[in-house]
Amino acid sequence: MWSTIKPFGKFALLIEWPQEINTSILAEISSVRTSLESARVDGIVDIVPAYASLTVYYQPEVISYTKLEKIICFWQVKIPEFAHQPGNLWEIPVIYSSEKDKDMAFFISHSGLSLDEIKFRHSSVVYDIFFIGFLPGFLYLGGLDESLYIPRKAVPDLKIPAGSVAIGGKQTGIYPRESPGGWYVIGHTDFKVIDLFKPPYCEVKAGDQVKFYPK
Judged on CB neighbours under 10 Å (0-12, 13-18, 19+), 187 is buried
Q: Please, which residues bridge with residue 168 across strands?
A: 171
pLDDT tens sequence across 170-211: 999 999 999 999 999 999 999 999 888 888 888 888 889 999
pLDDT of residue 148 exceeding 50, the answer is yes
Q: What's residue 28's pLDDT?
A: 82
Q: Please, what are the domains in the chain?
A: 4-82 (3.30.1360.40), 89-214 (2.40.100.10)
Q: How would you write 179-198 as a 3-class SS string?
A: EEECCEEEEECCCCCCCCCC
Q: Do strands 126-132 and 209-214 pair parallel, antiparallel, or not at all (unpaired)?
A: antiparallel
Question: What residues contact residue 10 under an 8 Å CB cut-off, 6+ apart?
Answer: 60
- 76: pLDDT confidence band, cut at 50, 70 and 90? low
Of 147 and 36, the structure prediction assigns the larger pLDDT to: 147
- Taking only the tens place, the pLDDT of each residue in 79-126 is 554 455 667 999 999 999 999 999 999 999 999 999 999 999 999 999
Q: What's residue 82's pLDDT? A: 47
